[in-house]
Structure 1
Amino acid sequence: MSSLSSIRSGASLRQTLAQLPRDARDTLFLLVVIAWVIAPQVPTLPVWTTLLAAGVLVWRGWLAWHSRPLPSRWISSGLLAPLAVAGTVFSHGTFVGREAGVTLVIALLALKTLELRARRDALVIFFLGFFTMISSFFNSQSLLTAAAMLLALLGMLTALVNAHMPVGRPPLAQAFRTAFTMALLGAPIMAALFMFFPRMAPLWGIPGDQMVGRTGLSGSMQVGTIAELALSDAVAFRIKFDNPAQPIPPASSLYFRGPVLSAFDGREWKAEPFREDSSWAARAAMPANLKVQGPALRYEVTLEPHKRPWLMVLESTPQAPELPGNPTYMTQDLQWMTTRPVTDVVRYRAESYPEFRHGPTASVRQLREFTALPPGFNPRTLALAAQMRADPALAGDDTAALVEAAMARLRTGGYTYTLEPGVYGEHTADEFWFDRKQGFCEHIASAFVVLMRAMDVPARIVTGYQGGGQNSLDGYWTVRQSDAHAWAEVWIAERGWVRVDPTGAVAPGRVGAFERLPIPQGAIASAVGNVIGANALQQMRAVWEAVNNRWNQWVLNYSQNSQMDLLKKLGFESPSWQDLTTILGSLLGAAALGGATWTWWERRQHDPWLRLLGRTRKRLEAAGLPLPDHLPPRAMAQRVQAHWGTASGAAAPSTQAQVQRIHDWLLRLEQVRYAPQPAQQLGTLRREFNTLSWPQPTPGQ
């Protein structure tokens, strides 16, 4: 141990790894692979699970590095494993379910490395490792996750191949080449399974356990909610317009409608659910009365999963989006919904009309719901509304004039648009209009709607996304989380609901020129930008997003309809899942037959060891000793001695020497078959074969 330590102290890391015992080297490699498999799930794991896995892997690596004995099974199975189960129940309330199951499996995977004593233990680790790899796609199916899991797969296969090479010290590079070849040969079969395995919704896919929205748009809006979302540069959805020749409206007019918020409690805006025992039931019965005009925009949306039942479409969309396998419906607020939350990347087609009108054109009782304000809140805003109402220039029921007066105040009153407005107090509208005079779109829209309602004008808040940017490489429009927006709708007689974006009055660049406040970058992103330049960084980003979009379109969104379209291209007039099964079975059968044929032919024709053994069998047959094809070299050597009588000494001394040399050569041939690097030794045996002298056939044979 002291000599090994002295070698390690003066040697480089590479030399030290080369001098480690094979068991220690293989264990360290397996631990690195396990850490890589677990790493993508760290953000979603309980903190204790990450600490436990990291601590156990480091401990196991230290034991392997210093050739220390493993702890007793009482520590891992009797102490740590029950603690892992208890921690899972404490964190998730159960050990059953997707998230609890993943947490428990990862904890057990790490703990099992402390019991890595036999091949059976290694096989259990491989099983848990492959399961953990699959579970990574529960949280993300992005291209980065797939690439990380592909590397993990090659690492796990390398460790698995290496575990089945018990003799000698085979290099890991040799095991990796074997694993890579296995993965490469299996790729066509996996591609066939992906393309033709019947996808029967809703069984195909993995449902989410929790309905926590990730788009930042929800059934409520508080001060600061969307401001935090605006700092996210993640993609919300992508759009591809059908007709490139048709002029696309400017970004300032691209409004993607989300939840409509009408109920206000003084601090929070909510989209009240339908309730038959309240006035909201009467309001929900109010028809949308949608009327469109002008040319339609036809486009395709690729929506990222947000675990909410909302479909993002342009205002306004009278016809249901084409979303196969998931029924859709439109609320009276013109919001399109699905019957199930969107938990995977989905693609659908829609047709929208930028010019439209909706809502009642004459005053109805239900509109009173949109003038309600909570008592005791925003007294100064209420006083401002009374003052504006008393202005002779605004007297009467000219709602448009009241709206314009409020917009003029926003334009000329010193109000600013910022991502950091600070925390608002109890009277949010008062603080905005008179104190802070700054805010994000949600502050501006909320204060505007409160002022409108205080003047007895029906108004509400609409949340969604506004604008977007076009990728010059693939032509797709990308709408990000930073494009989340809130605007207002005001009811005007004879016109219905009219969109009013008060943010445009405060910061015209945010809507008109479609400028955005810069998103804060981390230290790494800033350093990269300084080295390669902002333009190059933007180009790299465009390339990455185009590639990622292709991944979404061709892989994640490969649906049952895509399979049927593929069958139609292959000549099936009315394709069905039975046709998919037939094609898949035929392809798999052909692949199995082809693989078996190739293996037999390759071993017979291209295995140099078998060719040399066949030549030996033919030479012995010519010498008068026919042998069955199934005999291994050791059995052939025994037959040689028995046939020519060398064991009893009956043969001539010269023949005995010949037979003994053939016998020894056959035993060496068998040893080469199981050698870690047989190529060089086989060449030597091949040259010796040409120098062997063979006994003459016995007369009469």
Structure 2
Amino acid sequence: MKQLMQRLSALPRDARDTLFLLAVISLIVLPQAEHLPWWCTAITALVLLWRGTLAVQAQPLPGKWWRIGLLALTLAATYATHRTLLGRDAGVTLVVILLALKTLELRARRDAFVIFFLGFFAMLTNFFYSQSLLTACTMLLALLGLLTALVNAHMPVGRPPLMQAARTAGWMALAGAPIMLALFLLFPRFAPLWGTPSDAMTGRSGLSNSMRVGTIAELALDDRIAARVKFDGNRAPPQNQLYFRGPVLAQFDGREWTALPSWARGAQWSANLRVSGEPVRYEVTLEPSNRPWLLTLDAAQRAPEAAGFEVTGTPDLQWFANRPVNDLVRYRAESYTQFQSGPLKRAGGQLQAYLALPPDTNPRTAALAAEMRNDPALNQATTPAFVQAALQRLRTGGYTYTLEPGVYGDDTADEFWFDRKEGFCEHIASAFVVLMRNLQIPARIVTGYQGGELNVVDNYWVVRQSDAHAWAEVWQEGVGWMRVDPTGSVAPGRIGQFQRLVQQPGLFAGAIGAMSPTLAQNIRAAWEAVNNRWNQWVLNYTQSRQLNLLKNIGFSAPSLEDLAYVLLYLLVGASLAGAAWTLWERSRHDPWLRLLGQARTRLAKAGLRLPETTPPRQMAQAADARFGPTAQAVREWLLRLEAQRYAKATPGTSEASDSLAALRREFRRLHWPTANPRG
């Protein structure tokens, strides 16, 4: 490392500055790598490496045709990848690749300035994909790097150290921080702040409005956070009651479950929710999902309170926002863990959709249902008896809970019950519901999240994608819909103690875990608590919270107009304060030196350029030699200026004519010579 630093310090300034700028560009582009096409990342890396090699070896830059060829290639590749040159993804790809290509014509300061400001824009595009604390910290470091390069470019003389430019850039950032804070707090907010309405967010993982048997298992190793939940008074329900309801699926084609259309599930019927016990009040911070549903704890009687959204409910106890959740959303809800819902009697065919099965599928499961109905022990059994019989079969039949049950064929229920006898929660729930329907018991699948873990640092419950779960609901005469989680019969620890199927930790995390089993967990809890603070106070600082801020400072009914006025007053006040500070700063400088500098500037305009260290007497002699008698008044004024500073006052004489104020007034009346030297 020491040898590397010595080699870098020995490089010419142009090479050193170029390498620093390339390093900053790499830092800007690095977080984009997972969102950019692979060829864009590869070309960008190769171009930056090529440009760095040219700088170190002092070789000429590539010619115009090289750059035109690379530009045409990247434009064609962008269009081939995105089928357009417009939009978010295509635009970000072009910005990144153009930023890299621009370094191949970095010859003058003008080119450097273009790269600086293109870099500032590319830095902002990172927030189209992630507004996490880690992204913000990385971009703050990139911002300081770009400011350092910009300050360094304004110091063309000599070889100033980069640390000196970095200190100046740091002070600039600190000076702008109060304005940034004021704009953050008071500039009117309109969602979505980042992104466009057409953003597809295809890279997001999470629940879907359909479930192909085996898809939820794909989420089991996804450790990303889906939601954070804060229970009022930190009174969380027991862990085995933490069911966060998502899409309800009832249509089955043999392999895939989908939601019923609104007309089929009876949009005209109410949920008929009947609750008992004390409600659980809580606040949910939901991560972006590009889905319209809002997760609630089973079961919410009233719509969640989500600012900026219109929330509607469905008969199957789902809650939908009026638009997809593409930004972090915080809302309050109230749920009852003891509830019943749905019709009490079969009437009007409203439950027929929950009995439908594709014809000629899962024949062995149908035969099992017929066998159960003909079993003397279950003859004329009620729904609870059939449910318990199926659960008993799961408990005692050698069934196992696994992420790798193999690839299922078309008859998924038959394979689970009779062949493989292993699967993840959706395999178990799907096979159970198919069996119930063959028993002529209305049944459906509910997907969502079950469980979570308490972060003891901030007392938020963290629900991860790995907590994604599927369970069943069966209908009973006189009771309505009731939850049945067949996974609990196969793997009780999955429901009660929250034993998850987790992926192997990486090398670094594994090493920490080997040294201290709790250290890695504590570090992660602390980091997620910090991230949660970032989410609550920065990303979720909405327009309603802005107006609440105005209420706290005395506005009775604040509006966006009040917000704009407060921001305007603050900006005007900051401008006046800046002007006053500038005047105060100028008054601190020596007024005598300032007046001497003005005289030097006047002589320079006349063609007599003198060093800044020239004293008044030498300036007077130079003006006399250059301009002759025409500079007589200037020469005398300069000598009086010198005397004002250095001569001792003579007792009994008046100093009014030679005071600095008088000399300043006389300076403005003097006839300064023009560029016509004595020949």
TM-score between the two structures when normalised by the length of structure 2: 0.88
Q: Does 1:86 align with 2:69?
A: no
Whether the aligned pair in 1 keeps the contact of 2:192 and 2:327 (CA below 8 Å) is: no
2:210 paired residue number: 220
Residue equivalent to 1:298? 281
Decide whether aligned partners of structure 1 residues 109 and 87 sit closer, same or farther in structure 2, where only a CA change above 3 A counts: same
2:356 match: 372
Question: 1:111-510 alignment to 2 at 5 Å?
Answer: 111-201=101-191, 206-207=196-197, 209-210=199-200, 212=202, 214-244=204-234, 247-274=235-262, 280=264, 283-364=266-347, 365-396=349-380, 398-510=382-494
Mapped contact 2:391–2:489 kept (Cα < 8 A): yes
**Structure 2 counterpart of 1:102:** 92
Does the 8 A contact of 1:408 with 1:505 survive in 2?
yes
> Which residue matches 2:522?
539
* Paired letter, 1:428: T
Corresponding residue SS for 1:362: coil
Q: Is the 8 A contact 1:216 1:225 kept in 2?
A: no
Q: In 1, Cα distance between the equivalents of 2:620 and 2:256?
A: 99
Measured in 2, the distance between the counterparts of 1:164 and 1:337 equals 55
Equivalent residue number for residue 672 of structure 2: none
CA distance in 2, matches of 1:650, 1:124: 45
Matched, 1:575 2:558: yes
CA distance, structure 2, for counterparts of residue 630 and residue 293 of structure 1 = 90
Distance of 1:560 and 1:343 partners within structure 2: 16
Counterpart of 1:197 in structure 2: which amino acid?
A: F
Write out aligned runs for 1:677-696 (5 A): none
- Percent identity, please: 59
1:150 is displaced (CA, Å) by 0.4
Unaligned residue ranges in structure 2 (runs of 5+): 629-634, 651-656, 659-679
Partners of 1:161 and 1:213 in 2: CA distance: 38
Tell me how far 1:587 sits from its aligned partner: 1.2
Cα pair distance change 1:185/1:235, threshold 3 Å = same
Distance verdict in 2 for CA 1:630–1:424, change over 3 Å: farther
Name the residue aligned to 2:576: 593
Alignment of 1:603-642 (within 5 A): 603-605=586-588, 613-614=593-594, 634=610, 637=614, 640-641=617-618
1:661-680 map, 5 Å:
none
- 1:682 counterpart residue number: none
- Equivalent in the alignment of 1:564: 547
Q: CA deviation at 1:611?
A: 6.7
* Aligned-residue CA RMSD (Å): 2.9
Q: CA deviation at 1:129?
A: 0.7
Amino acid at match of 2:236: I
- Listed as ranges, the gaps of 5+ residues in structure 1 are 1-9, 618-625, 652-658, 667-688
| CA-CA distance at 1:634 after TM superposition | 3.0
**Matched residue, 1:62:** 53
Quote the offset at 1:643 in angstroms. 3.8
Deviation >4 Å, runs of 4+: 201-206, 614-617, 626-633, 635-642, 644-651, 692-697
- Say whether the 8 Å CA contact 2:220–2:466 is kept in structure 1: yes
- SS across alignment from 1:534: coil
Instruction: Please give the alpha-carbon distance, in whole angstroms, between the structure 2 residues aligned to 1:642 and 1:12.
Output: 51
Q: Whole-Å Cα distance in 2 between the matches of residues 519 and 72 of structure 1?
A: 50
Is residue 294–residue 353 contact of structure 1 (8 Å, CA) maintained in 2? yes
Change (3 A) 1:642 1:266: closer
2:27/2:142 contact within 8 Å kept: yes
User: How far 1:435 sits from its partner (Å)?
Assistant: 1.3
- 8 Å contact kept, 1:233–1:519: no
AA matched with 1:254: L
Q: Give the secondary structure class of the aligned counterpart of 2:306.
A: coil
- 1:105-160 Cα offsets, whole Å, 9 max, x none, are 10100000001011221111112111111110000000000000000100011111
One-letter amino acid matched to 2:474: V
Distance verdict in 2 for CA 1:649–1:145, change over 3 Å: closer
**In the alignment, which residue of structure 2 is the partner of 1:623?**
none
Cα distance in 2 for residues equivalent to 1:539 and 1:208: 39
Shift of 1:183: 0.5
Structure 2: distance between partners of 1:648 and 1:639: 14
Tell whether the 8 Å contact from 1:263 to 1:270 is kept in structure 2 after alignment.
yes
- State whether residues 472 and 542 of structure 1, in contact with CA within 8 Å, keep that contact through their aligned partners in structure 2: yes
Name the residue aligned to 1:674: none
1:190 shift after superposition: 0.4
| Matched-pair contact (CA < 8 Å) for 1:288–1:358 | yes
Find the aligned partners of 1:378 and 1:453 in 2 and give their Cα distance: 12
Change (3 A) 1:546 1:27: same
Residue 13 (structure 2) pairs with residue 37 (structure 1): no
Which residue, out of 487, 494, 512, partners 1:528? 512
CA contact (8 A) 1:360 1:496 kept: yes
1:71 aligns with 2:49: no
Please give the secondary structure, in 1, of the residue aligned with 2:518. Answer: helix
Are the structure 2 counterparts of residues 186 and 630 from structure 1 closer, same or farther at C-alpha, using a change threshold of 3 Å?
farther
**CA distance, structure 2, for counterparts of residue 44 and residue 204 of structure 1:** 16
Task: Return the offset for 1:207.
Answer: 3.6
Tell me by how many angstroms 1:513 deviates: 2.3
SS for the counterpart of 2:332 is strand
Q: CA deviation at 1:541?
A: 1.2
Tell me the amino acid that sits aligned with residue 42 of structure 1: A
Distance 1:164 1:206 in 2: 37
What SS does structure 2 have at the residue aligned with 1:243?
helix
Aligned residues: 636
Whole-Å Cα distance in 1 between the matches of residues 623 and 308 of structure 2? 80
Deviation at 1:378, TM superposition (A): 1.2
Give the Cα–Cα distance (whole angstroms) in 2 for the partners of residues 289 and 205 of structure 1. Answer: 39
TM-score, L = length of structure 1: 0.86
Q: 1:394 to 1:11 in 2, by over 3 A?
A: closer
Q: CA deviation at 1:631?
A: 7.5
1:310 CA drift (Å): 1.0
1:283 offset after TM fit, Å? 3.5
Task: Determine helix, strand or coil for the equivalent of 2:233.
Answer: coil
The letter for the 2-side match of 1:634 is: L
CA deviations over 1:478-499 (Å, ceiling 9, x no partner): 1111111000000100000110
Residue 317 of structure 1 and its aligned partner are, at CA, apart by 0.5
The 1:650–1:72 alpha-carbon spacing in structure 2 relative to 1, beyond 3 Å, is: closer
Corresponding residue number in structure 2 for 1:622 = none
Q: Distance in 1 between matches of 2:519 and 2:623?
A: 80
Name which of structure 1's ranges 369-378 and 348-357 shifts more when overlaid on structure 2: 369-378
Residue identity in the other structure for 1:268: E
Matched residues in 1 for 2:352 and 2:219: separation?
32
**Secondary structure of the structure 2 residue equivalent to 1:301:** strand
Aligned to 2:39: 48
| 1:30–1:396 distance in 2 versus 1, CA, 3 Å | same
More divergent stretch after superposition (201-210 vs 446-455): 201-210
Contact 1:208 1:307 in 2 (8 A): no
Deviates more, 1:146-155 or 1:287-296: 287-296
- 2:17 is the alignment partner of 1:26: yes
Change (3 A) 1:650 1:266: closer
Instruction: From the superposition, tell whether residues 128 and 150 of structure 1 become closer, same or farther in structure 2 (CA, over 3 Å).
Output: same
